[in-house]
Chain A
Amino acid sequence: MNNQIIFYPGTLDEKDGKFIQMGNKCKSCGKTSFPAVELCPFCCSDNGEKVPLSTVGTVFSFSVTRVPVGPYKPPIIGAYIDLPEGTRVFGQLQANEEELKTGMKVKVETGVLWTEKDGTEVLGYYYVPVETKHGGAE
């Protein structure tokens, strides 16, 4: 098996062989932030707990980038996803361009975002439309 790393430390936790997005739910102000950082970004409290983020959200806005960015090849669909707990997360959307719509429901998936030259697989999260069934990562 290839060596695997997470694209950004602290964004995904491994639980029972699955990767999940973990945020910080602040017990002082009630806000959930992602990824968890030192203190609550809204109120500076250290009184929080790590919680899994909601897996389904809605697209606030999106854009389609037509040029390469780092390891990604175009078209790159980027979107701000709003979660029911009030957290906004930026992620890529794996969808057909024709079906893209503000307000569409999407769910999170995890998988390989890109593979380094030495074969290291870089894991991360992305979103897919709720209605259609997509396979794993590309």
Chain B
Amino acid sequence: MRDVYVLGIGQTVFGKHTDLSVNDLGAAAGLAAVKDAEISPKEFQTAYCGAMHNIPVVGESILRRLGVDRIPIFNVENACASGSSAVHLLYRDIALGACEVGIALGVESLSAYARKFGKGLIGFEEDHEAKLALTMPSFFAMLCNRLMQERGATIEDICYASIKNHKAGISNPYSQYKKEVTVEEIMASPMIADPITVLQCCPQSDGAAAIILCSEDFYKKHNKKENRAPVRVAGSVISVSGAQDSSYDPLALKSLIDGAKAAYEMAGIGPEDLNVVELHDAFSGEELAAYEMLGLCKPGEGVTLARSGAAEMGGRCPVNPSGGLQSMGHPLGASGVRVVADIARQLWGEAGGYQVEGAQVGLAQMLGGVLSNIESPVVAGIQILVK
């Protein structure tokens, strides 16, 4: 396996962009990444585009606007891990020597989706449990109930990530929200699925993110950012769940635990080496469960870790300094690319108001999909970046 480097990143502001199409959003993020990398898009040898609610040939449709043609372009759907999957496939192509440089895009317009299919909670199409009203919030509400029952989490603990991440998002120019929230405000907002209220859910968002990865040779020849320390994708794993029986506990999702272990092994580090993490906090409570599954603390101690302040700015390992999905917003297909780009930004020391000082090693994680008869969430994407 060859080393893979980050050459450039780009993204749009996440939020409501009702006047911008999926193509507009994708092209803006792609162009920002190209400008950041200071190379011509004609250099790209392959491209991947992650999106969940897709327009046909979305990657080609976006990249033709940047003059990218006559190369293999692939469109990837893996729910909220669509962007992670796009990054992973590009990483793999370069690591295995199939190409030297390429771009991974992630894009989503939930405004466009709502115009087509309406608003409200939806289950996964063609899934039988979804037809019985199993939705993302109802699934994560069960996870929160497990946290309260098994880990002694209080409502304050369940609201913890929402409060922490909304606060962090204020200093991020790309985030959807610039507003702090309190436990009282969170619990006074409309209830979606007990105990999950609107202010514990990520917002509906439009946006796009892009990352340009390359081989070591290409990096040495083309990197023009002399002051930027080289940042490597040291581990990348897509981990899919197995069949579900009654022994499954969503607080211990095997695909995420094993996927994180595999990524640590690839990178030659352990969770204790992490300085910064960006993860899937679509629902506030799930962040506490993720601490355990990523090995940031011992199994069973996610609530304790939250209460210790270790995951806050200035703590041992800040989690979601960008504001996370809670405050950044969550354009589904874009988030998996955005979290990796955000970790690169942190390691380069270019995160401005939300910079984690001295960050050397970071992890990006996404989870996607809730289905029948398989341990949900269904797909975990994990990327580790090292300076």
Tell me if B135 counts as interface (CB < 8 A to partner A). yes
**Interface 1/0s, chain B 25-39, versus A by CB < 8 A?**
000000000000000
Of B87-95, B224-232, B241-249, B295-303, the stretch lying at the interface with chain A is B241-249
- Chain B, Cβ-Cβ closest to A90: B129
Complex contact B245–A65 (CB within 8 A):
no
A52 to chain B, nearest CB (A): 17
**A69 with B149, Cβ < 8 A, contacts A33-B373, A83-B246, A88-B245 known:** no
Closest residue of chain B to A43, judged by CB? B243
A66 touches B194 (CB 8 A): yes
Cβ 8 A contact of A92, one of B132, B145, B247: B132
Q: Is B123 an interface residue (CB 8 A)?
A: yes
Q: Does B191 contact A (CB under 8 A)?
A: yes
Chain B, Cβ-Cβ closest to A84: B246
A61 to B249, CA, bound (A): 10
Residue B323 CB within 8 A of the other chain:
no
In this complex, the interface size class of chain B, counting residues with CB under 8 Å from chain A, is: 35 or more
Q: Nearest Cβ distance between residue A96 and chain B, in whole angstroms?
A: 15
Q: Are B135 and A65 in contact (CB under 8 A)?
A: yes
B-contact bits for A86-113, CB 8 A (1 contact / 0 none): 1110111000000000100000000001
A60 an interface residue at 8 Å Cβ cutoff? yes
CB distance from B176 to the nearest CB of A (A): 21
One of B106-114, B136-144, B333-341 contacting the partner? B136-144
Check B141–A63 contact: CB distance below 8 A: yes
Given the known inter-chain contacts A34-B373, A64-B193, A78-B138, please indicate yes or no for A69 contacting B133, CB distance below 8 A: yes
Question: Does A35 count as interface, using CB distance less than 8 angstroms?
Answer: yes
Closest chain A CB from B153 CB (angstroms):
14
Q: Given the complex of chains A and B, what is the CA–CA distance between A8 and B128 in angstroms?
A: 6
Please pick, from B121, B246, B250, the residue contacting A65 in the complex, using a CB distance under 8 A: B121
A interface, over-half SS: strand
Docked-complex contact A65 and B133, CB < 8 angstroms: yes
Select from chain B the residue with minimum beta-carbon distance to A34: B373
Tell me which residues across on chain A come within 8 A of B243, comparing CB atoms: 31, 33, 41-42
A1 at the B interface (CB under 8 A): no
- Which chain A positions have C-beta within 8 A of B123? 69-70
Which of A7, A8, A61, A82 is within 8 Å of B145, CB to CB?
A61
* A63 contacts across to B, CB distance below 8 A: 137-139, 141-142, 145, 193-194
A19 within 8 A of B: no
Is the Cβ of A88 less than 8 Å from the Cβ of B132?
A: no
On whether A70 and B131 interact (CB within 8 A), knowing A64-B193, A82-B246, the answer reads: yes
B373 touches A78 (CB 8 A): no
User: Which A residues from 4 to 28 make CB contacts under 8 A with B?
Assistant: 7-8, 11
* Chain B residue contacts of A41, Cβ below 8 A: 243, 373-374
A62:B246 contact, CB within 8 angstroms: no
* A68 at interface, CB cutoff 8 A: yes
**Mask: chain A, 35-79; 1 = CB below 8 Å from B; 0 = not:** 101000110000000000000000011111111111010001011
**A59 CB to nearest B CB, Å:** 10
Query: Which residues on the A side are within 8 Å of B194 (C-beta)?
Result: 63-64, 66
Q: With the chains together, A83 CA to B307 CA distance in Å?
A: 36
What is the CB-to-nearest-CB distance from A94 to chain B, in angstroms, rounded to a whole number?
A: 12
Answer whether residue B267 sits at the interface, using C-beta atoms and an 8 A cutoff: no
| Cα-based distance from A76 to B142 in the complex (angstroms) | 13
Once the chains bind, are A62 and B142 in contact (CB under 8 Å)? yes
CB-CB nearest in chain A for B243: A41
Known contacts A63-B142, A65-B121: A86-B134 contact under CB 8 Å: no
Checking A33, A70, A87 against B133 with a beta-carbon cut-off of 8 angstroms, the contacting residue is: A70
Separation in Å of the A27 CB from the closest CB of chain B?
Answer: 16
Q: List 21 A-B contacts (CB under 8 A).
A: A31-B243, A37-B373, A42-B245, A63-B138, A64-B194, A65-B135, A65-B192, A66-B191, A69-B133, A69-B135, A70-B131, A76-B133, A80-B142, A83-B246, A90-B129, A90-B134, A91-B132, A92-B132, A92-B133, A113-B132, A124-B132
